[in-house]
Amino acid sequence: MAINLSVLTDTIFSMHKLKRYLFLSQAHLFGWLIMSSIFASSVVFTNGGVSNYGNHYTTVPFFTLAFILGASYLYLAAETLVQLSKRFRFLSRYLVVLCGIMLLVYITTFPRRFGDVYSDIHDNVSKFLFIYELFLATWLVAKHHTLQSFVFLFIMIGGSFIGLLSSLHVLHLMFVGQMIGALGFGLLLVYILPKVIESQLKKHR
């Protein structure tokens, strides 16, 4: 009985850590990028994307904090998944790779001003990040198919569609589209991922 109580306590504590790390990851990512948009609002209205904040000296610190802290807390969340159960090892690794892709997007931002080759590399990494996130988002909705999860997925896809139209110069809302798309994915991470984990834990008790 004492052992079961200890395991239950550890699970509750680890779930609390997981939720906190996921929230802090997205809070830092969005918070610092919004700060960037305040200091260089011209990017928002000139069809500039999020990565343009890596090219402004006034916003590089905020841009850096957004990606470094966002990826760091997401990595801590991934490590916490393994502490909850070994069966979440694959999902944990998936999140670790996601952290790596986020950092790769950050790193490739800076040399893209030096030529089309570097710019193409950055654009392709960014596209791969979206596809990678979309796979995880779809899996989360399949595991927890509620109205809430479908709304979050719709926000993600809707924002990405705005970004696509902006890249084709049909709209001029690249930053807005990227932020809306990232918001949808962030909501899935913060609200739906913990519910999926909790349901899996209950199922295998």
DSSP assignment string, 77-145: HHHHHHHH-GGGHHHHHHHHHHHHHHHHHHHHHGGGGG-HHHHHHHHHHHHHHHHHHHHHHHHHHHHS-
∠42-161-190 over CA atoms, to 5°?
85
Distance from C-alpha of 4 to C-alpha of 6, rounded to nearest angstrom: 5
| pLDDT, tens digit, 9 for 90 and up, residues 8-52 | 567 787 899 999 999 999 999 999 999 988 887 776 667 568 888
Residue with tokens 């011209």: 42
Query: Higher-confidence residue: 26 or 83?
Result: 26
| pLDDT, tens digit, 9 for 90 and up, residues 99-142 | 999 999 999 998 887 888 888 999 899 999 999 999 999 999 99
